[in-house]
Chains A and B, each alone.
Chain A
Amino acid sequence: MSSHTGKFGEYGGQYVPEALMPAIEELEDAYERYVLDNEDGFMDEFRERLADFGGRPTPLQRADRLSERYDVEVYLKREDLLHGGAHKLNNALGQVLLAKYMGKERIIAETGAGQHGTATAMACAHLGMPCEVYMGRRDINRQRPNVFRMRLNGAEVTPVTVGRGTLKEAISETMRDWATNVEDTHYVIGSVVGPHPFPAMVRDFQRVISEEAREQIRERAGRLPDSVLTCAGGGSNTMGLFAEFVDDEDVDLYAVEAGGSSLDVDEEAGVAPNSATLSTGTEGILHGSRTRILQDRDGQIMESHSVSAGLDYAGVGPELADLVDRGRVHAVNVADDPALEGFHRLSQLEGIIPALESAHAVGYVEEHHDELGEVILLNVSGRGDKDLETVLEETHGRDIEGAPDINTFETTGGFQ
């Protein structure tokens, strides 16, 4: 599955301005030497830091009450317990460390939900690198706790005001910065997207999730799972969780996308009220690679939507797109409402407040547990602290089973 050519079937490649090409070739070389060949013990140091600083391995937990509710065995891979509260640290730490090995002096990153920005800021503080994070204005407003965390860790957070002010615009802006400062700066891209070698490299940094999960579930359940599920925005936790299971043909892999408020598209307005790129997107070129994207008939990129900022993106990793085309991965989606329901479900039944991104996967299990076999592995890609404000706001006025009545918080004055 690993790609040295940068192509996954017809997807992948390198579609970037000429000024960036030498940096990308330099990165390709560094990826092959340090990551694939462990030159200078790079991967050993990476693993050591993931353990000591990151808190790996993360647990695999049997979810007793969910298992009882669905009458199947549900196991949770607890990436929410990784330092920083999401799987994003695996990649951020890997790339910042790689940038150090390459002799780079400055780190830039983009962030949607803020989790990747936070992870990058933490890795930079840990390794002593200056860090600037681009974030859409709208995402800054809906993910304030993470903005604060990034700044606490010494990163500069730069708002991006163009367009709708979400991840798509932040990525474009970070590419511009990179094109200007490419000689001493490394761009830590936040998912398995962008030009080669990013999709392969980010997957290899995230692969640790499935290396652990595969061993852990064999130990706990005595066998491999029937189905493996996780949310897919750009697809990094997705590829990280799937990587070691791809060759296990009996294991069904589910990438759960954000169905948003609807799968319909308003071509005229250039808006997709979802972020279900794998389910509804078409082949095209965005942010440096050929992949599935949300676009109108002319090829203009659409504005996407999801209640969760981390899934709100018009593209997806090229390798994941290829696995879906080849029928190895099922691309499914869950709308905003059932995702919110999944959020409350996991909070109440297991005492785990998941990221809204991960809540999509929980929502899918709630709706489809009959079809998923006896043993289910579900990735909790991150924790939901960053989403509390959004959830309070979004739950209000919706009919979400089992959700607390938000008004009662207001009248009891419990927050004062």
Chain B
Amino acid sequence: MSRIADAFADGPGFVPYLAAGDPDYESSLAYVEALERGGADVIELGLPFSEPIAEGPTIQSAIVRALEAGMTPTRYFEFVEDLDVDVPLVCMTYYNLIYQFGEGGGPADFVRRAAEAGIEGFVVPDLPAEEAGPLREACDAHDCELIFIVAPTTRGERLERIMSQVSGYVYVQARLGTTGARTDVSDRTAESLERIADWDVPKAVGFGISTGEHAQRVIEAGADGVIVGSALVDIVATGAERGDPAVTVASKLEGKARELKEGALRGATGNERPHPERT
């Protein structure tokens, strides 16, 4: 079993997201490390792209800050190498950056370099299963996972196509729209989870989860993990706006991570359903 799927094996997985280099390289290193102390099982690390069409305003602003502070694909790989974390890292970015890297014209160079730096999986929101063949091949060549998103609108043949391609975990999009913290957890989460109940990869739910209580409810609804981005990026944004020292922001991030992880754990207590990775 891969380290990524493994991360969900002993209870609910907590998967936080931050954009690498937001608001600057050094602080960002400290922030990502704080997530691990707070209980992260896998970390999704965003590589900023100038046209993030799947992101809401919070993550979009994070991407702008990181780009303005000089984040590039090359710097990103150095960033991954400079990070002091043990949990598996997933690179979240858009296909053009993957495609252009190195000699360009294909994903091979990017995946090779990413794997060398320590990345173990990829989420590429603008790459549907139909166009993912070359990236899937490159991932297989370097033992990396390719994680796909299942949306509330995904049904029928599309589900089959994604199921045949996905590895690591499946990213279940809790509601329509772009990323962004919300105050409720959509009913559609449960419906979406039901549709993929028999898939043999862990199911992690994201989009709109911002509190420990949300995390608990999502796990209660049958998820194997929660993915949280905007609620954490908000803490980085507020810190950057107020000019707070990085240690202060890092400790807030750690606290928030702990709240989310504990919520997820509460959701799993008394949750007797068989876990696909444990049976």
Contact = CB atoms under 8 A, between A and B. Distances in A.
Interface in B76-109: 94-97, 99-101, 105
A145 interface: no
Interface in B93-148: 94-97, 99-101, 105, 125-128, 130-131, 148
Contacts of B279: none
A14 B177 contact: no
Contacts of A17: 53-54, 125-126, 149, 151
A18 B50 contact: no
A184 to B, nearest CB: 11
A179 B149 CA distance: 13
Interface string A1-36: 000000000000111111101110100000000000
B150 A182 contact: no
Interface stretch (A48-56, A71-79, A278-286): A278-286
Contacts of A286: 51, 96
Given A176-B53, A295-B100, A18 B60 contact: no
Q: How large is the interface on B (under 10, 10 to 19, 20 to 34, 35 or more residues)?
A: 35 or more
B158 A180 contact: no
A103 to B, nearest CB: 16
Given A17-B126, A298-B72, A300-B49, A179 B100 contact: no
A293 B52 CA distance: 16
B173 interface: yes
Contact of A18 (B94, B100, B101, B148): B148
Given A162-B64, A284-B96, A172 B126 contact: no
A22 B158 contact: yes
A379 B27 CA distance: 54
Contacts of A301: 50-51, 96
A172 B127 CA distance: 16
Main secondary structure of the interface of A (DSSP, over half): mixed
B67 interface: yes
B73 A23 contact: no
Interface residues of A, number: 36
Nearest to B173: A19
Nearest to B128: A21
Contact of A14 (B50, B130, B150, B155): B130
B11 interface: no
A153 interface: no
B60 A162 contact: yes
Interface string A199-239: 00000000000000000000000000000000000000000
A175 interface: yes
B178 interface: yes
Given A16-B126, A298-B72, A182 B53 contact: no
A295 B100 CA distance: 10
Contact of A19 (B94, B96, B100, B152): B152
Main secondary structure of the interface of B (DSSP, over half): loop
Interface in B52-80: 52-56, 60, 64, 67, 72-74
Contacts of B55: 176
Contact of B131 (A15, A22, A183): A15
B176 interface: yes
Interface in B25-63: 49-56, 60
B238 interface: no
A18 B173 contact: yes
A286 B150 CA distance: 22
A109 to B, nearest CB: 16
A139 to B, nearest CB: 17
A168 B56 CA distance: 16
Contact of B178 (A15, A163, A180, A299): A180
A176 B153 CA distance: 15
A181 interface: yes
A172 B51 CA distance: 7
Contacts of A181: 176
A23 B158 CA distance: 12
B56 A176 contact: yes
B50 A175 contact: no
B2 interface: no
Contacts of B67: 300
B271 interface: no
A104 interface: no
Given A21-B154, A183-B153, A300-B67, A285 B99 contact: yes
Nearest to B74: A298
A283 B97 CA distance: 12
A299 B151 contact: no
Given A14-B130, A22-B158, A285 B153 contact: no
A138 interface: no
Interface of A: 13-19, 21-23, 25, 162-163, 168, 172, 175-176, 179-183, 270, 283-288, 293, 295, 297-301
29 contacts: A15-B95, A16-B53, A16-B126, A17-B149, A19-B176, A25-B158, A163-B64, A175-B53, A176-B53, A176-B54, A179-B176, A179-B178, A180-B176, A180-B178, A181-B176, A183-B176, A270-B50, A284-B96, A285-B99, A286-B51, A287-B51, A287-B53, A298-B97, A298-B101, A299-B99, A299-B100, A300-B50, A300-B97, A301-B51
